[in-house]
Structure 1
Amino acid sequence: MSTLLYNTRPTMRPARAFNSLLNELLRDAQPATPQPSTTFVPAADIFETAQGFELHLALPGVAKAAVSLDFQDNQLVVSGNRPAPATEGDNVPQLRRVETRFGEFRRAFRLPEAVSAKHISAEMADGLLRVMLPFDTEKVTKQHIEVR
C-alpha cells in the first residue's frame, strides 16, 4: 500500500514562501505597544582615497549641533543624540510600529598613524555625516636610503 501526500498550499517560489513565513513570525513577535529605543549604533562606511580616508555615518534626523567628534590617542569618537518622537499630548499621532532607532549613539574608530589629526574635518548634510581623514604628508612611511 502506498501513501500519497498532497500539498494544499499554492505553488510559490521558494524565496516568496520563505519571506511570507518570516513575515508571519516577525509580525507575531512585535510588541503590542511600541516604545522608541534609548540607544542605537549608526551605520558607517569607510572609503580610502589618494588624499586619505573618508568616513560616512548615516544619521537621519540628527541635528548638526547634536553631534560631537573627539580625537584622542589615535581614536576618533563620534557621539550624539537623536530625540524620539513625541508620543503624548494633543494632536500627536500614536506610534503603531517603531523600526527607526532613537536615543544616544557612540561609535569609536581606531585610526592609523598615517592620518593627520590636525587636518580632520567634518560636514553634515542630508542626514549623512562625512568625516575627512587626510593622510599626514609630513610623515615618512617609506624611504630608500642610499649606501655611500
Structure 2
Amino acid sequence: MSTLLYNARPTVAPTRAFNSMLSELLRDAQPATPQPSTSFVPAADIFETTQGFELHLALPGVAKDAVSIDFQDNQLVVAGSRPVPATEGEDAPKLRRVETRFGDFRRSFRLPETVNVKAITAEMADGLLRVTLPFDTEKVTKQHIEVR
C-alpha cells in the first residue's frame, strides 16, 4: 500500500526559497566598492499660480552658495555642484551602497514672454530650491479689439 502525503501549503516553501536565492543573487551583483556619480539631473516641479510660475528643484545636500541661476536668451539656467562625501582617511566611512547622485548638475528652462525677468527671486531651504517667476503685468498677451 502506498502512502499519500498531503501538503496544505505547497506554495510557501518554494516561494521562500526563490526569494532567498534572488536576494543573494542581487546582493552579490552589487559592486564591492561603489563609485559615486560625477553628474546628475535634479528633479523639478513647475507650478502656475495667479501671480506667475514657481519652479522647485530637489537639491538635497547642496549648499546655497554652490548654486548659480542665470537668465539668457529666454532661458533660465540653474547649475551647481553637490560634493562627494569624504571617504579617505582613517575615520572616514566607507561607501557601501550609493543611491543618491553627486557631482555637477545643470537644468535649463525656456521661459515664456509673460515672465518678468527682473522680478525673479530664488530661495533655498531644506534641500529645495524655490524659484519664483512672476508674470509681467505690463505685457499684454491677449486683447479683444472691438470693431467700430
Bin of the TM-score, shorter chain as denominator length = 0.7 to 0.9
Unaligned residue ranges in structure 2 (runs of 5+):
1-8
Aligned to 2:77: 77
Taking a change above 3 Å as real, the CA distance of residues 83 and 10 of structure 1, as seen in their structure-2 partners, is same
Q: 4+ runs of 1 displaced by more than 4 Å?
A: 19-26
Question: Which residue identity is paired with 1:85?
Answer: P
**What's the TM-score once normalised by structure 1's chain length?**
0.83
Aligned to 2:62: 62
Aligned to 2:12: 10
Unaligned residue ranges in structure 1 (runs of 5+):
1-6, 14-18
Q: 1:21, 1:107 → 2: CA distance? A: 41
Residue deviations 1:20-49 (CA, integer Å, cap 9, x gap): 898666534321211111101111011000
**What's the TM-score once normalised by structure 2's chain length?**
0.83
Percentage of matched positions with identical amino acids: 80
Q: 2:121, 2:95 → 1: CA distance? A: 37
- Greater mean deviation of Cα atoms: 26-35 or 118-127: 26-35
- Tell which structure's C-alpha radius of gyration is larger: 2
Taking a change above 3 Å as real, the CA distance of residues 143 and 102 of structure 1, as seen in their structure-2 partners, is same
> Are 2:50 and 1:50 equivalent residues in the alignment?
yes
Aligned to 2:139: 139
Q: 1:123, 1:96 → 2: CA distance? A: 33
Question: SS of the residue aligned with 1:113?
Answer: coil
CA RMSD after TM alignment: 2.6
